[in-house]
A and B are shown apart, each in its own frame.
Chain A
């Protein structure tokens, strides 16, 4: 549903003096931090004696990792923003997504392994759909049974959702067993494009394009539709949205389900990226997902994308420059961002 445009004379707005250069820079700074990080990395990589193609490869890898993290984290940030719910169990949907998706891909093995992009898609699309459907359904059940009883109690939320994550992992172990499950990408998703001297993995390019498309779709829904308007208002002040006659609980359940389904999509993408899954995939990724959400600003989808790209790039650059600092670098990134902007890169104005 599109927004009402029936404002008649009200659209005769006065042209206001634009914001000062300083204010504009302040607003753009979070977005500029991504190219700035890439630029600093370029200088360091060249100083170390490596070449520009290396930097290009690392940057594309970082962007791909970033958008996958964004897909996983976007639901979590909205869930927190809307209902102040700290969902430590979000990782369970990543794992469930990866397992369901990979299982479907193994079932449809002949199509998935075929040397034909269309046949590959015939396996990948149902795998993603199944993963998202199962996780969405799980999200609905999770919200009703685990989250709903502990609204407003953060400590209980942490304990209960963490517990639910452990229970889910054990269930997956019982169903699929403890072995790592390998899943090789088909030829269409393997290999690399050669741009000049830079080798760019195809899968990373596809993942980046898909991730950016999902961000675009989310931004469209949030900015241009009435449901999106309600979500944005609810993130700022859910109580007031209720007082206007909207059922925020229903809205929240919807966001929870979509967020869970997106986490599952992220899980499938990550499984194909790593080419192996274990039941700990969600738990392992949750550290980075939480860092992304905190860096971005809790409740902000744009912040979530910027935070995810920063974490993805940082991990890849430091993994190349100083491998021992790879994990620590994201923590360091979080510390630096929070010292600069304690509310995260793009803070949401919480009105309650």
Chain B
């Protein structure tokens, strides 16, 4: 796995209405593995994700994906470049069946059977509820569907916003396992916004911490996990899993 950047943000500013949310974000996401974006609520993590995806337009700064500037591309072009987005609310089409949700995600409408089988092995619940309206799935199953949709086509970068939010610990464990398998090919990179520190620590290779619309720390997850002073300073908490 090369350590060159897959995604980089340089001096990115984003305004939402008259609010100045991102105030010069500099972020490097290395190729392969999971990069975790940490930070308090309101720090600008979701805005960073949405700005990368083009759902909010950066008012200044550059975003490069695989060496190519993408900050002024429309969202569909960014998606076609190889970035998938799993928003915090999961963005499930509740009125469509699980199958229809997946058909839409498979561009061209045809599944790669081997890939579909692999995904349905990762998330067996989707196979069971294949013909059911997605609105009837449980929270954890919806999250699984959201992630399955994001990976039914091979993508180089997955932007996943707080996948563990509101889920039972067992489901979070299953998701963590699934993410590990997703990145095992070395071709897929995940940028993960996560408040569940245990999950973040298990998965994260590199980490960036945001505060007030800027990146205030970037480095290796192992270093942050080992330095309690740094954790206290950056996050006001400890990464030690609670006993």
Residues of chain A at the chain B interface (Cβ within 8 Å): 1, 3-4, 6-14, 16, 226, 229-230, 232-233, 236-237, 239-248, 348-349, 351
B42 interfacial contact with A, CB 8 Å: no
A6 to B103, CA, bound (A): 10
Q: Within the complex, which residue of B94, B110, B120 is in contact with A349, where a contact is CB–CB below 8 Å?
A: B94
Instruction: Tell whether B230 is near chain A: CB-to-CB under 8 Å.
Output: no
The interface residues of chain A lying within 8 Å CB-to-CB of B149 are 244
Q: Is the CB of B93 within 8 A of A237?
A: yes
Q: Which stretch (B20-28, B126-134, B197-205, B233-241) binds chain A?
A: B126-134
Q: Give A8 to B121 CA distance when docked, in angstroms.
A: 13
- The segment from B29-37, B57-65, B75-83, B180-188 that touches chain A is B75-83
Identify which of B55, B96, B107 contacts A245 (C-beta below 8 A).
B107
Which residues from B are CB-within-8-Å of A11? 130-131
Q: Do A13 and B135 touch across chains, with their CB atoms under 8 A apart? A: no
Closest to B75 in A: A242
Bound together, the chains give a CA A14 to CA B125 distance in angstroms of: 10
CB pair A229–B103 under 8 Å, yes or no, is: yes
Contact of A244 among B105, B113, B127 (CB under 8 A): B105
Q: Which residues of B contact A229 (CB under 8 A)?
A: 96, 100, 103-104
Q: How far does the alpha carbon of A91 sit from the alpha carbon of B96 in the complex, in Å?
A: 31
Give A157 Cβ to nearest chain B Cβ, in Å. Answer: 18
Complex interface residues of chain B between 120 and 146 (CB less than 8 A to chain A) = 120, 126-132, 135
How many B residues face the partner with a CB closer than 8 A?
40
Of B84, B105, B130, B132, the most chain A CB neighbours within 10 A belong to: B130
Q: Would B109 and A1 count as touching, CB distance under 8 A?
A: yes
Could you tell me if A8 and B116 are in contact, using CB atoms closer than 8 angstroms? yes
- When distances are taken between beta carbons in the complex, the residues of chain B under 8 Å from A232 are 93, 95-96
Interface pair B76/A10, CB less than 8 Å apart? no
Given contacts A243-B55, A243-B75, contact A7 B93 (CB under 8 A): no
CB distance from B80 to the nearest CB of A (A): 5
Please tell me which one of the listed residues A13, A245, A348 contacts residue B76 in the complex, with CB atoms under 8 A apart: A245
Since A6-B110, A247-B74 are in contact, a sample of 10 more A-B pairs with Cβ atoms closer than 8 Å, ordered by chain A residue number, is A3-B100, A3-B109, A4-B110, A7-B116, A10-B130, A13-B127, A233-B93, A243-B84, A244-B149, A245-B80
Q: How many Å lie between the Cα of A11 and that of B99 in the bound state?
A: 9
| A240 and B87 contacting across the interface, CB-CB below 8 Å | yes
Q: How far is the CA of A247 from the CA of B76 in the complex (A)?
A: 6
Contact assessment for A9 and B117 in the assembled complex, using a CB-CB cutoff below 8 Å? yes
- The residues of A that contact B135 with a CB separation of less than 8 Å are 349
- The reply to whether B79 and A245 form a contact with Cβ atoms under 8 Å apart is yes
A-B pairs, top 5 by smallest CB distance, nearest first, are A245-B79, A240-B91, A242-B75, A349-B94, A4-B109
The 8 Å CB contact of A243, one of B85, B106, B113, is: B85
**B111 sits at the interface (CB 8 A):** yes
Given A9-B117, A9-B127: A244 and B104 within 8 A (CB)?
yes
Most buried by A among B92, B109, B149: B109
